[in-house]
Amino acid sequence: MPQRSVLLRPSRVLVLVILGAAGMAYYHLEIFVPGALEVRASEGLGNGYSLGADFYPLWLTAREGMLHHSDPYSPETTRRIQIGLFGRPLGDNNSAIAPDPRAFANPAFAEFLFWPLALLPFPVVRIGLAVILAAVTAFSILLWLRAVRFQFDRVRLASLILLTLSSYSVLEGLFAEQIGLLVGFFLAASLAALAEERLFLSGSLLALALIKPQMMLLPAIYLLVWSFAQWRARRPFVAGFVLVSALLGGPSLLIWPRWISEWLDVLIRYRQYSTPPLACYVLGSYAGSRFGPVLVAALLACAIALAWRMRSASPASLEFALTISLLLAMTVVALLPGQAVYDHVILLPGIILVAVSWRGFAASSRIFRVVLGVSAVALFWQWISAPLVIAARAIPSRRIFTEAVLVLPIRTAVSIPFGVLAVLALMMRQITLKKKYGRERN
């Protein structure tokens, strides 16, 4: 026993976390990204911005909107986005990839939040924004902990921050400068404010997450249902949400009266070149097209049923935190495109919730222990395998460093959301059964 306690000392755990985080960061920045850029260059698409590529459309449309009130969804704006990202408009010559128009795909009011950045040159913006997104992602961990009413000691908090920032999904989001990381922060801030019973502030912060509505749709539906369930006490939440939504949407309609129909048209065309949701993607092209929509519909039906059933839950309860975490996991599986691993940051509250409460659930369920173990391996595989890839790259024989070895750390990225969803669903099932059993005994 003494030897085991030495091995598990917090200082040694933190050292292992630092080494794992450094290895994953090195793998992503020095091995994975250069390999991806080589492929992009071979397809004739390597003459534009790579760092900050996902934020560039927002920066450009915000700049053009501020200076010239240009339509962010116009073909000319899309052409300028393509030139900035790829060095040329797509379709000018034959390329080996399917068309990716890269049209501006956010609601028009998203530009308002970034007009101050539009005053600066993009090379300056993308450096500063990478730092800002890393900082808000780290701070969102503190907010999620506050939302679930739990505190970590310094070592565990530092470990969680390092593992989060060095995870594949967050590294991808930071390199692309995805505003999904900012949406994750708004969601965390909204739920933290709700935990402190600051309902108006919570609703206002949730409205800011509308800049990427697909990430916050299910939690927003639940929180609105939750508010109407006890209208007199919870109506400040709805007031904050509606007021900020109106402040964002009203001016954008005055500047671009047709932006809603144009945005919906972009979303429809987006489905032609993006990967389907994970629920369809993992089934393959044939089975996914046939059974994927059924699985998505089933998950969405479960989400609506869960929102209705938990409409009276107290924000201080485990059921409330589980409901939000489950809805976010369902969002990743059923609503987000399969390639959008950077948006998996919204799995963070569910992972935290499992990390702080798994022991009580594992003690009474063998199935839970098995699912938890498999999910944990899938989650931590990236930090375990990254050093192996780095070592393989250092071996002189190039036959060892194959494409299969190159992508080894990201092999489990698709399975992580399903694992988190399964563990959270089992936790909710145990709580429901305990409550039902308790009522029957009474």
Domain coordinates of the chain in residue numbers?
A: 11-436
Per-residue pLDDT band at 286 (split at 50, 70, 90)? low
- The pLDDT of residue 8 is 58
Q: What is the pLDDT of residues 47-76, one digit of tens each?
A: 888 899 999 999 999 998 877 778 899 889
Q: What is the mean pLDDT of residues 185-203?
A: 96
Q: What is the mean pLDDT of residues 413-436?
A: 92
- CA dist list (Å): 127 to 33, 134, 337: 17, 11, 27
Query: Can you tell me the distance from the alpha carbon of 107 to that of 261, in angstroms, rounded to the nearest whole number?
Result: 10
Query: Can you tell me the distance from the alpha carbon of 415 to that of 144, in angstroms, rounded to the nearest whole number?
Result: 23
**Residue 354 predicted with pLDDT over 70:** yes
Query: Can you tell me the distance from the alpha carbon of 26 to that of 195, in angstroms, rounded to the nearest whole number?
Result: 37
- Specify whether the CB–CB gap between 211 and 109 falls below 8 A: yes
**Helix (H) / strand (E) containing 137:** helix 122-147
Three-class SS string for 327-391? HHHHHHHHCCECCCHHHHHHHHHHHHHHHHHHHHHHCCCHHHHHHHHHHHHHHHHHHHHHHHHHH
Q: How big, in percent rounded to 5, are the helix, strand and coil portions of the chain?
A: 75, 0, 25
Q: Of the ranges 95-104, 178-187, 245-254, which one carries the lowest mean pLDDT score?
A: 95-104
Per-residue pLDDT band at 93 (split at 50, 70, 90)? very low
Distance of CA 199 to the CA centre of its chain: 24
**Residue 94 predicted with pLDDT over 60:** no
